[in-house]
Chains A and B, each alone.
Chain A
Amino acid sequence: MTFRTETLKAFFSGLLSGVSEPSRTSVALFLAIPAVLLLLLPLVVTPGTMAGPLADLFCWGDDDTYCSLTSRALRLAEADPSVPRVVVVGGSITGTMFRERPLADAYARVTGDSVEVDVFTGGRMTFWEMEAIADLLPDGATGVLLLVVGPSRFTRNAAELDTISSSPRLALDEDLNRERADHGLPPLRLSGNYFIDNRRFFSPRLRNAFPNLVFPVHPRPRDYTVEEPLGEKEWEELADNVVERFRRWPAEHRWNGDIVRQTVQEVRDRTDMEVVLVDHTINPRFREERMTDAFSTEYHEYIDALASETGVRLLIADTLIHASERDYYDWGHIRNAAVRDTLSARIGTYLGRVALSREE
């Protein structure tokens, strides 16, 4: 008993001394830990890692949808191409328009076949990011790709291309150099290593790995069905902001359209997927108060021409539902779950008919 107490006393006395005094062991260790871990990252963090559950370690929090989008998009790349799927890509309004189950059920009722539905949406997603996700469709994939567009999406400018490539929200190893060159931006230097080429995505996120190990995060899209519509003051501010974006339409819409053309062409070249352009929902109040007839007409004529030129179908989501101002959170995000489910089901029915017409 005495022997054990003495031993413990000596051990803890030594422990105290080891903790309080610098030593070669501690110095070597604390220099080696950052060095070894930083050197290991390019070897350990691969698309495979990001496609798995470890991806959540790099997320900012439960609202970091682009982090989980990266993970899901990389999983899509590994999906079985022979399984038909409906892949939806678009911004945050798109996220409030689609629910997987009603869409898949409606599709199955028309065709008698089941279909996988994958919805990839994120706040203010650009066409470059949509193209990067579409690039991950496996070669020979079957089904339908829905590219969801809207007037705001066509107003993104070259400054945003610089931002999304120098501080990316997605880590998809997408080479944006071709688009950068088209807009007079200097090329990015690429190494061929996934982690190094996406270091701008990872560098701010790596520190999240420590807290996320202890308190895991599970990012998911914002649920607008639990939100009340915006108050009058917020509505006016947001509507002003959206109209301000529309002012960039004359200068920016053509080359944004070029990215859509390019995406459609690349998907056609590599897969057997049908591409459908979907014009997203807009609150009738916003349409009435903030969109001039001239702008609405020009926008619709443009996307109509874009669909015709590229040979894809165009679906105007607002023609499939009868929604009122209160069914929306703001200018386009649907907050009424019943409206969203109806819209998803009607789009599923439409896609089912498209699938049947292709078979005939």
Chain B
Amino acid sequence: MRSDAARDPFLLGKMAGAVGQGLVIGFLLLYIILRILGTQSAQFLFRYEGF
């Protein structure tokens, strides 16, 4: 596959595109998970801060 990709620019581009898509969606997914995990505590933090 890798040697095919090295010879075929279309295949190389397709792999780069798939990796890019995976990275973007992966980090987006992680960000959404962290937002959901943290929402409740975050609301508390802002309420509790102050003098």
Contact = CB atoms under 8 A, between A and B. Distances in A.
Contacts of B26: 29-34
Interface in B8-51: 8-27, 29-31, 33-35, 37-42, 44-45, 48-51
A23 B20 CA distance: 11
B14 A18 contact: yes
Nearest to A22: B21
B20 A19 contact: yes
A85 B14 CA distance: 61
Contacts of A27: 22
Given A26-B19, A26-B22, A29-B23, A167 B48 contact: yes
A206 B19 contact: no
B12 A25 contact: no
A contacts with B: majority SS? helix
A14 B22 contact: no
Contact of A11 (B10, B48, B49): B10
B21 A123 contact: no
A39 to B, nearest CB: 12
Interface residues of A, number: 46
A328 interface: no
Contact of A18 (B17, B29, B40): B17
A249 B49 CA distance: 21
Given A18-B20, A33-B23, A210 B12 contact: no
A287 interface: no
B29 A34 contact: yes
A18 B37 CA distance: 31
B6 to A, nearest CB: 12
A207 B45 contact: no
Given A7-B9, A30-B29, A203-B38, A19 B45 contact: no
Contact of B38 (A12, A29, A205): A205
Interface in A60-82: 60, 63
B13 A124 contact: no
A18 B19 CA distance: 8
Q: Which of B13, B31, B42 has the most CB of A within 10 A?
A: B13
A120 B20 CA distance: 44
Contacts of A23: 14, 18, 21
Contacts of A38: 30, 33
Contacts of A92: 51
A8 B48 contact: no
A210 B9 contact: no
A333 interface: yes
Q: Which of B37, B38, B51 has the most CB of A within 10 A?
A: B51
A204 interface: yes
**CB-based closest 10 A-B pairs:** A18-B17, A29-B22, A14-B13, A33-B26, A204-B38, A30-B26, A15-B13, A14-B14, A26-B22, A14-B10
7 contacts: A11-B10, A15-B13, A22-B21, A33-B22, A38-B30, A93-B51, A123-B49
Given A19-B17, A31-B29, 18 more contacts: A11-B12, A12-B13, A15-B20, A18-B19, A19-B21, A25-B18, A26-B19, A30-B21, A30-B26, A33-B23, A34-B33, A60-B45, A93-B51, A167-B41, A167-B48, A169-B45, A204-B40, A204-B42
